[in-house]
Structure formats: structure tokens, C-alpha cells
Amino acid sequence: MKKSTRKFLGATSPATGRLRLEQQGITMRRLFVTAGPVLLLAAAPHARAQSESAPEDSVFDGDYVTLGVGGVYSPSYEGSDDMVLSPFPLIQGKLAGIEITPRPGGLALDLIHDRENPKIGFSLGPVVTYSGNRRRQIEDPVVRSAGKLKAAIDAGVNGGVTVYKLLNPYDSLTFSSDMRWNVNSAHKGMILTPGVSYVTPLSRAAIVSLGISARHVDDDYASYYYSVSPAQAAASGLPVYAARGGWASVGVNALVGYDLDGNALNGGFAVFVLGSYSRLMNDAKRNPYTSVRGRAGQWVAGAGVGYTF
């Protein structure tokens, strides 16, 4: 969250204020990029560069925290054609120099400290997420009769590279990826989620983020979520299906954030809206939960509010 926005506020000297704004925009960008079908959002918007003549104090100069809440309208399970509304909390910030960035159902830490006003920045740290896929809110009675699945807790590592000042002095392009393994004996598999995101400020208070992401799963993950066992087939009437791993989805997403008092540097309240579309692939698309009872195209829309202090 920090590195892509740094360009927005500049470096040292009179551009110090710009550096701070940038750091906030970075936060939003990372948030957005890694969010796949269930986006997690940052409510910390960017702002347009202030004048080069006078630096401005910022809530992002040192440690800060953003707390937020929102709602997301999304498929009731991966591959479903039934939509449900779900709340989600948000926490992000920087404590003792460690960046905290949200993930869908979790968070990531960035342990790398880049120099001020870098042309290229790096991120690396641990990530942990929670998934309740096919655990609750299963609207389809046939899928529900196949049985609920255990919620998954996955942990691993995230890393990325950000390039600043591409089309204007304050934008950024980030290439990042999370690699996570199941740690609570649910699907017992591994997930890889690479992504690319572009972030640019629209004004002193507004920021827009555009992203492309993909997801690769191994055989254990695919078997847990996409296979239909003989027992599940007998209970639901769905055909028996043995799934394999591979690329499970690819998608695009967009997010717009706005600081409510028009100045992102002083913290306070901000709002955001988001949308995404992903397309399931291979056995994530061909399995009966999707092909018979659901659909491969997955839409998500959401909105929320956050407070930074």
C-alpha cells in the first residue's frame, strides 16, 4: 500500500507532502489488486499533488491505522449464479514501519522499507486469509444438499514490484503475487494469485485503481472444491466428477475512492465503490457445481466507508 503512492507526494524537501499522499494511494492499490472475486478494499484514497512550494503535514507521516466496514454483493459460492450480500471489515495501516494491507478475508504485511521517492519499489512479507466458500450462504438447495465444506485458513508469502511515474508524476504500476498454503486441514492445497494493477489520482481527494488478476490452484484444492464424490452425488443428484488443478480463474477489477473532506492527507472519513468480473476456467468451470447449477462468469460489486487516524 505504500510504495505505489509514494510518487504522488514526492520525496524529501518541499515535495514531502506529495510523498505522503502517495503512500496512501499505494495502500489502496494493493488492496484492490489482490482482491479477486471478493475484493477487499482500502478506503484510503489518493489526492492530487499539492503545490511544490509548501510541504503539508500528513496523518501518514508515521504510524497510522485505517478501520472500515463495507458490503459486497457476490456469488453465494465460487461458481454460483445466486448473489448474496455480505458485510466485511477492513484494517490497514503502518505500525513500527511495517505496512498492513488487506486481503479478502485476511491481511498481508510488507516488511521491506523502500527509500524515499523510489523509481522502483519492492514488497515482501507474510499473508494469511480465511475462506468460507461453500460453508454458509449456499442459496442453491442442490449444492447445499451435497454438504457444507470446512472453512479454510491459508497462509503464505506475498511479494511485488512497483514502477512509479509512468503516464504522470503520480501514477504507479504494480506486479504482485500471493502464494498460500492451507494450514487448518481444509482443502490441504496451494493457491497462487498473480496480479497487475494501475493506480492514478484523479484529484486531491480521489483515486482510481484498475487491475487484472488470475488464480492457480493445485490438485488438492481442486479436488476439495470442484470434485463431486459418490456420496455427494447420491445426496445431491449431481454427477460424480473428479477435478484437477490448474488455472482456475482470470478477472478484471476497478475501484474508486474519495476522501469526504476533500483532503486525503488529514485522514478522517473516506468512501469507496468497487466492481469486478472474473471468468472461471478449466475444472473450476467444468465441475457440476458451476456447469450444472451455476455459471462461469462471476460478478462482484461493493461499497464501504473507512476512517483513518
Report the range of poorest mean pLDDT among 18-32, 53-67, 200-214: 18-32
Report the range of poorest mean pLDDT among 169-173, 185-189, 219-223: 169-173
pLDDT of residue 247: 98
Report the range of poorest mean pLDDT among 45-49, 84-88, 288-292: 45-49
pLDDT of residue 8: 33
> CA-to-CA distance for 48 and 230, rounded, in angstroms?
58
77, 143 contact by CB (below 8 A): yes
Average pLDDT of the residues in 125-134: 97
pLDDT of residue 127: 98
Residue 299: CB atoms within 10 A of its CB come to 15
> CA-to-CA distance for 59 and 132, rounded, in angstroms?
35
pLDDT of residue 41: 35
pLDDT of residue 88: 86
Report the range of poorest mean pLDDT among 112-116, 254-258, 266-270: 112-116
pLDDT of residue 115: 80
162, 8 contact by CB (below 8 A): no
More confident residue, 88 or 150: 150
Residue 73: exposure state from Cβ atoms within 10 A (0-12, 13-18, ≥19)? middle
pLDDT of residue 265: 78
Report the range of poorest mean pLDDT among 29-43, 119-133, 155-169: 29-43
**Mean pLDDT for all residues in the chain:** 84
More confident residue, 114 or 209: 209
Tens digits of per-residue pLDDT, 27-39? 333 333 333 333 3
